A = this chain, B = another copy of it.
Amino acid sequence: MNVPSAKETTAIPLVIFNASEPQPRKAEIMIEFYELAATDDKQVFSPYCWRIRLALHHKGLPFKSIPWRMTQKDRIAFADTERVPVLVDGEQKLADSWKILEYLDERYPTPSLEMNRAELRFFRHWTEMVMFPGMIRMIVDEIHKTVHEKDRDYFRATREKTFGMPLEEFAANKEAKLEEFRKSLNPLRATLKAVDFLGGSQPNLADYLVFSGLMWARCTSPMPLLAEEDSVFAWRERMLDLFDGMARSIPCREIN
């Protein structure tokens, strides 16, 4: 396994114990987290990886970010997968974002992600089935420009096969699609007019799931998907401020 470069996040010096089985001390934890990156190692943009990144910060877990590219299948074969996120925690080698979230919440229960709350699953499916399809058809040509040079041919070939047409054709007519996309956010918009976060006064998994989708677009496309007067925009600003501005510090392509 070839690990070229790694960034370490700041470990929060907090020791938490679970009543039944003690959580490991933070200083003893060394989580390796493979996430999809652009040419710039720091420009991580996969919405599925963002879920994990935010969950790790939510729990204050130190981790080593390992930038990965789409064509490096061999580097994650050890986890029996071809896709990131991949998380390695000691003997544990995990793929699939939802399974990783469940693992983290079981292994490091405090503070909780409340993975046992069934209604939070709805936000997973809403983002995957409503938000992502609404976004990809506006941003896929720009994602192609964002991915690492060595991933570009692979990205174009696989996506054009899926969509059955050139990326540029699939991503045409962005303005009309933007209107439809913004309309699809209406339930989110109405909710965020009344509360600071989907989690109330603090963000919870629902916030992380939806925000991860927006980070995908922010990091890959110059097109602003949200109007500044939108309650979703104001909420995204609050999310960008979390964890000492962690998400805001990630290189983005959105033009504001």
Contact = CB atoms under 8 A, between A and B. Distances in A.
A98 to B, nearest CB: 10
Interface in A176-205: 186-188, 190-191, 194-195, 197-200, 204
Contacts of A170: none
Number of copies: 2
B125 A198 contact: no
A30 B126 CA distance: 40
A99 interface: no
Interface string A9-35: 000000000000000000000000000
Contacts of A199: 118-119
B126 A187 contact: yes
A130 interface: yes
A190 B125 contact: yes
A86 interface: no
| 3 tightest A-B CB contacts, nearest first | A125-B187, A125-B190, A118-B195
Given A117-B200, A121-B191, A125-B188, 19 more contacts: A118-B194, A118-B197, A118-B198, A118-B199, A119-B119, A119-B191, A119-B198, A119-B199, A119-B206, A121-B194, A122-B187, A122-B198, A125-B187, A125-B190, A126-B126, A126-B187, A129-B186, A129-B187, A129-B190
